[in-house]
Amino acid sequence: MPDRTAGLRAAAEHAQAFLATLDDRPVAAGADATAVRKTLGGPLPEFGDDPATVIDALAAGAEPGLVATAGPRHFGFVIGGALPAALAADWLVSAWDQNAAFHSLSPAAAAIEEIASAWTLELLGLPDTASVGFVTGGQGANTTCLAAARHAVLARAGWDVERDGLIGAPAVRILCGEQAHATIYTSLRLLGLGSETAIRIPADDQGRMDPDELAKALAGNDGPTIVCAQAGNVATGAFDAFGPIADACREHGAWLHVDGAFGLWAAAAPATRHLTAGVERADSWAVDAHKWLNVPYDGAMAIVADPDPHLAAMSLAGPYLVADPGQRDGTNYVPESSRRARAVPIYAAIRSLGRAGVAEMIERNCAQARRMAKQLADIRGAAVLNDVVLNQVLVRLPGGDDANRTAVAAIQRDGTCWLGGTTWNGEYVVRVSISNWATTDADIDRSAAAIAAVVTS
């Protein structure tokens, strides 16, 4: 019988060595995929190696191609790190190797999903009767929620979309702010609603959907309708006005979905909760855990106020499947059947932080965003373009589009920090996102100085 733990011991040594360098290593990868393939690839092995040898080779070959996304100075995309308790819990998930689809396969996974669901709803101020599915990320969460929305609005029109499909169904109108995230449109494509069918509602200079324009678009057409709002614009961090939007949706019988991939966590902190006022009135919400809750990839929640359309859209049954009466079968809330117990790291993260710790992390990262914005605004010729209400900083560095692209590439090469660019109001600008539990004020100061040095060199 092979030693079950030799590979684990080797993995623990390599993981600890990697984590020991995480705060100080260059953030960008030192090699591209071509170099990693050259080291780790080759012909298919005829005979196998022992686990420790495999892990040693894997760690050595992958090391140059690793990006320090889990470190305190990765400010690209919106990426959190991994809290120590969540990382350790994730190791347990792999060691336990539980299939979280059915209670009969893992009563522990089912129970932890229920606990993590209740804690998440309480932290976010959402109805405690809502249903929660644990999915891979914002894409999975948006797709799951919009599938529930599709079911609900068509059921009101007398159409069973799960049974009869979309051919011949009443048309479903989709309305989104013009700054809606790309995953919304991918979800619409996956659900057969069409990525280009959405009516784009004008937004202001921060990316907030105009509630009056939404109300005008809703007027006079009370057929099956879904409205997609946003908690935390991916560039500016701005929030839609949920109260007026919810009023308009209620008046016209529209389903209101909120994409809150990172911004919905603002509801968990006293200093930022006002930004989410009225969000609890929505019908569904998407929120990531591997962003601002800082669990390892992957983990997110699809939350639906009324569990019935959620279950109607996602549930799975078959005579060969064992369903334990009265128990939660996680597969009924997500698109997948077999899947890992991804609620376990979420449970560990929340338990390790508590309500106060989650709030402190959110508020600290927001303060660090303001600190970063202040220092970048001091660069001659630079301009901060957004109201820094959350953890996002949008800045135009001196020069035009080409100068900003050159600066972003130089900052990435420098390795002190990593950030990306985006197009905002027709200009190529720099986007800084701060959502890591380990980021310190010193990391902000060091990174801002490195950005300034690139610009002024």
CATH architecture of the region 88-349: 3-Layer(aba) Sandwich (3.40)
Q: Give the burial string for 287-296 (b: 16+ CB within 10 Å, else e).
A: bbbbbbbbbb
**Is residue 259 helix, strand or coil?**
strand
Residues 271-328 have pLDDT tens digits of 999 999 999 999 999 999 999 999 999 999 999 999 999 999 999 988 889 889 999 9
Query: How many other C-beta atoms are found inside a 10 Å radius of the C-beta of residue 351?
Result: 15
CA distances, 41 to each of 48, 151, 243, 423, 436 (Å): 14, 46, 55, 37, 33
Over residues 48-64, the mean pLDDT reads 96
At CA 400, angle to CA 399 and CA 403, rounded to 5? 70
pLDDT at 221: 83
pLDDT at 222: 83
pLDDT at 220: 80
CA distances, 103 to each of 100, 128, 342 (Å): 7, 21, 14
Residue 324 and residue 103 in contact, taking contact as beta carbons nearer than 8 Å: yes
CA distances, 309 to each of 48, 131, 147, 156 (Å): 48, 10, 8, 11
- Please spell the DSSP secondary structure of 197-251, one letter per residue: -PEEEPB-TTS-B-HHHHHHHHTT--SSEEEEEEBS-TTT--B--HHHHHHHHHH
Over residues 434-440, the mean pLDDT reads 98
pLDDT at 2: 73
Say how far apart CA 408 and CA 435 lie, in whole Å.
19
pLDDT at 1: 66
Say how far apart CA 271 and CA 409 lie, in whole Å.
35
Q: Please, which residues have CB within 8 angstroms of residue 197's CB and are 6 or more apart in sequence? A: 174, 188
Residue 2 and residue 51 in contact, taking contact as beta carbons nearer than 8 Å: yes
Residues β-bridged to residue 173: 225
**Is residue 329 helix, strand or coil?**
coil
E strand map for 87-139:
131-135
Residues 316-338 have pLDDT tens digits of 988 889 889 999 999 999 999 99
Phi, psi of 86 (to 5 degrees): -70, -40
395: which 2 tokens? 């800045």
Q: What percent of the chain has pLDDT over 70?
A: 100
At CA 432, angle to CA 426 and CA 436, rounded to 5? 150
pLDDT category at 457 given cuts 50, 70, 90 is: confident
The structure's pTM equals 0.97
**Is residue 412 helix, strand or coil?**
helix
Residues 187-204 have pLDDT tens digits of 999 999 999 999 999 999
- The yes-or-no verdict on residue 381 having pLDDT over 80 is yes
Residues 216-241 have pLDDT tens digits of 999 988 899 999 999 999 999 999 99
Beginning with the edge strand found earlier in the chain, give each strand of the sheet holding 255-259 in spatial order: 131-135, 300-304, 284-288, 255-259, 225-230, 173-177, 199-201
Mean of the per-residue pLDDT values of the chain: 97
Please, which contacts does 274-280 make with residues 24 or more away whose CB atoms are closer than 8 Å? 275/231, 275/239, 275/389, 275/390, 276/125, 276/231, 276/239, 276/242, 277/242, 277/243, 278/241, 278/242, 278/243, 278/245, 278/246, 279/125, 279/126, 279/231, 279/242, 280/125, 280/126, 280/127
Q: What percent of the chain has pLDDT over 90?
A: 96
Residues 20-54 have pLDDT tens digits of 999 999 999 999 999 999 999 999 999 999 999 99
Residue 454 Ramachandran class (φ > 0 left, ψ -120 to 50 alpha, else beta): alpha
- The yes-or-no verdict on residue 427 having pLDDT over 80 is yes
Say how far apart CA 338 and CA 352 lie, in whole Å.
28
